[in-house]
């Protein structure tokens, strides 16, 4: 299928770093939260090998923040997620599914607890702010809800501790996974978490002052020369291998948290109140009839513009591939698929049509690596 350039406008928002990544050679964009999100620089495969060996700086400003503050903020945040936040602590980040009244998924943000009455929901690609405002109005909550101008820079890759300690000082190496703290660069304090949408390790800098952020961006490349730093972005190959899920690709509002393997973040036995709780208890008791699993396909190329159906030998539907890519590590196509229960045994094989030809594959557990 032919690719087309994307027509920019005010509605398709740029980031404070857009002119920089364009100078550095961004080669494709995707759209995320109505904002430009880089999708490749050299190529997904070249970017992938570099990410696994060195360190990259990513413009992930499209991971927007929904700030919820005020007297009833903790109650509203808890109402939106099936993860029990009653023992949550300031300074910690919580990966937490957002659920609607039907028990279906709305988003999968990282929830950052800034204070007992101030939260940032670092959202995936759906309009959580209107969901939050609707719930606040309907419940007459005393809260303030806004999208602050926060533009995240992620530093990802095995050399990220070395680069970050050179810029922010040794202390940053003590920061634990999914914790945040404030670190200074040129007199400006930045909110930094040890997190990021790769399995290679790293940090996310929640830049609140765009001018200071651009200065920091440039310095990361200057200081990173000795570590072979390059511009990068969330990498399709790396994130599928590590099974980092993507709302809108792997799961969406048709799916519940059990189907999306979010049991770990679904707490139905505590006292906290959230949307869809009774529905989710029913689903848990009945058990789900499909869930996300891995697939490996004996082929070297796949385009994913829509779900692709998997069939067994009798042409029964096995499931649907939702994300896939060629993996240079496995030397075949790997993907994340919604698999029907009769086929959960990971030895099952299937047929799939790619570019009018039938290929064979088999089901496997996630993650791949
Ligand atoms: N960072 C920030 N905001 C984000 C993302 C991010 N918003 C959008 C999107 N990514 C949200 N989705 C995810 C998905 C997975 C993870 C983080 C955000 C993730 N998962 C860890 C894993 O699967 O290994 C587990 C985390 C845990 O168990 O606590 O990191 O990347 N700011």
| Mean pLDDT of the 225-232 span | 98
Residue 346 confidence class, pLDDT cut points 50, 70, 90? confident
CA distances from 144 to 68, 73, 120, 230, 236 (A): 6, 8, 12, 38, 35
Which ligand 1 atom is at minimum distance from the Cα of 152? 32
Topology (CATH) of 289-369: Elongation Factor Tu (Ef-tu); domain 3 (2.40.30)
Q: Which of 51, 19, 17 is nearest to 241 (CA)?
A: 51
Ligand 1 centre from 314 Cα, in Å? 39
Give the Cα separation of 312 and 81 in Å (integer). Answer: 37
Ligand 1 touching residue 161 (CB < 6 A): no
SS3 state at 128: helix
Radius of gyration in angstroms for the set of CA atoms belonging to the chain, rounded to a whole number: 21
Q: Please report, for the chain, the start and end positions of each structural domain, with discontinuous segments joined by +.
A: 18-63+150-240, 65-131+256-286, 289-369
Distance CA 287, CA 181 (A): 40
Measured between alpha carbons, how far is 107 from 147 in angstroms, rounded to an integer? 16
CA distance 15 to 120: 19
Side-chain half-sphere CA neighbours of 33 within 13 A = 24
Identify the bridge partners of residue 247 per DSSP, sorted by sequence position: 251
The whole-angstrom separation of Cα 359 and Cα 202 is 37
Mean pLDDT of 184-203: 98
CA of residue 148 to ligand 1 center, whole Å: 20
What's this model's pTM, rounded to 2 decimal places?
0.97
Cα-to-centroid distance, 196 and ligand 1 (Å): 6
Which amino acid residue places its CA nearest to atom 32 of ligand 1?
A: 122
Indicate the fold that domain 65-131+256-286 takes in CATH: Alpha-Beta Plaits (3.30.70)
pLDDT, tens only, 272-316: 999 999 999 999 999 999 999 999 999 999 999 999 999 999 999
Mean pLDDT for all residues in the chain: 97
CA of 65 to the centre of ligand 1 (A): 13
Of the pLDDT bands very low, low, confident and very high (cuts 50, 70, 90), residue 9 is: very high
Judged against a pLDDT cut of 80, whether residue 18 lies above it is answered with yes
pLDDT for 156 beyond 90: yes
Closest protein CA for atom 8 of ligand 1: 124
Nearest ligand 1 atom to the CA of 195 is: 30
Is there a common fold for 18-63+150-240 and 65-131+256-286? no
Q: What is the mean pLDDT of residues 72-101?
A: 98
Whether residue 268 has its Cβ less than 6 Å from ligand 1: no
Positive or negative torsion for Cα 53, 55, 61, 66: positive
Ligand 1 atom nearest 234 alpha carbon: 31
Candidates 1.10.287.130, 3.30.1360.120, 3.50.50.60, 3.40.47.10; CATH matching 18-63+150-240: 3.30.1360.120
181 DSSP β-pair partners: 192
Q: Assign 111 a pLDDT band (cuts: 50, 70, 90).
A: very high
* 134 C-alpha to ligand 1 centroid (Å): 25
CA of 123 to the centre of ligand 1 (A): 9
């Amino acid at each position: 299928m032919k690719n087309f350039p994307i027509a920019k406008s005010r509605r398709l928002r740029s980031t404070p770093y857009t002119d920089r990544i364009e100078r550095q050679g961004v080669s494709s964009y995707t759209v995320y939260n109505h904002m430009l999100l880089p999708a490749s620089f050299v190529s997904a495969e070249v970017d992938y090998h570099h990410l696994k060996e060195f360190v990259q700086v990513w413009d992930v400003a499209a991971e927007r923040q929904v700030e919820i503050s005020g007297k009833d903020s903790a109650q509203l945040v808890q109402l939106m997620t099936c993860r029990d936040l009653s023992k949550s602590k300031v300074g910690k980040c919580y990966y937490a599914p957002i659920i609607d009244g039907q028990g279906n998924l709305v988003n999968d943000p990282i929830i950052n607890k800034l204070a007992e009455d101030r939260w940032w929901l670092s959202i995936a690609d759906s309009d959580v702010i209107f969901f939050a405002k609707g719930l606040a109005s309907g419940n007459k909550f005393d809260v303030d809800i806004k999208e602050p101008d926060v533009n995240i820079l992620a530093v990802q890759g095995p050399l990220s501790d070395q680069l970050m300690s050179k810029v922010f000082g040794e202390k940053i190496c003590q920061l634990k996974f999914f914790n945040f703290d404030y670190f200074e660069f040129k007199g400006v304090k930045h909110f930094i978490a040890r997190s990021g949408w790769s399995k290679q390790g790293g940090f996310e800098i929640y830049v609140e002052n765009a001018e200071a952020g651009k200065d920091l961006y440039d310095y990361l490349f200057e200081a990173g020369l000795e570590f072979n730093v390059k511009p990068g972005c969330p990498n399709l190959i790396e994130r599928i291998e590590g099974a980092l899920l993507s709302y809108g690709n792997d799961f969406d509002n048709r799916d519940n948290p059990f189907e999306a393997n979010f049991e770990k973040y679904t707490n139905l036995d505590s006292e906290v109140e959230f949307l869809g709780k009774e529905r989710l208890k029913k689903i848990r008791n009945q058990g789900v009839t499909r869930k996300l699993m891995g697939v490996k396909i004996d082929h070297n190329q796949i385009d994913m513009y829509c779900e692709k159906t998997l069939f067994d030998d009798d042409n029964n539907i096995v499931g649907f591939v939702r994300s896939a890519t060629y993996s240079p590590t496995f030397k075949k196509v790997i993907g994340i698929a919604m698999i029907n229960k009769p086929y959960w045994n990971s030895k099952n094989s299937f047929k799939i049509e790619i570019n009018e030809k039938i290929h064979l594959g088999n089901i496997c557990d996630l993650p791949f690596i």
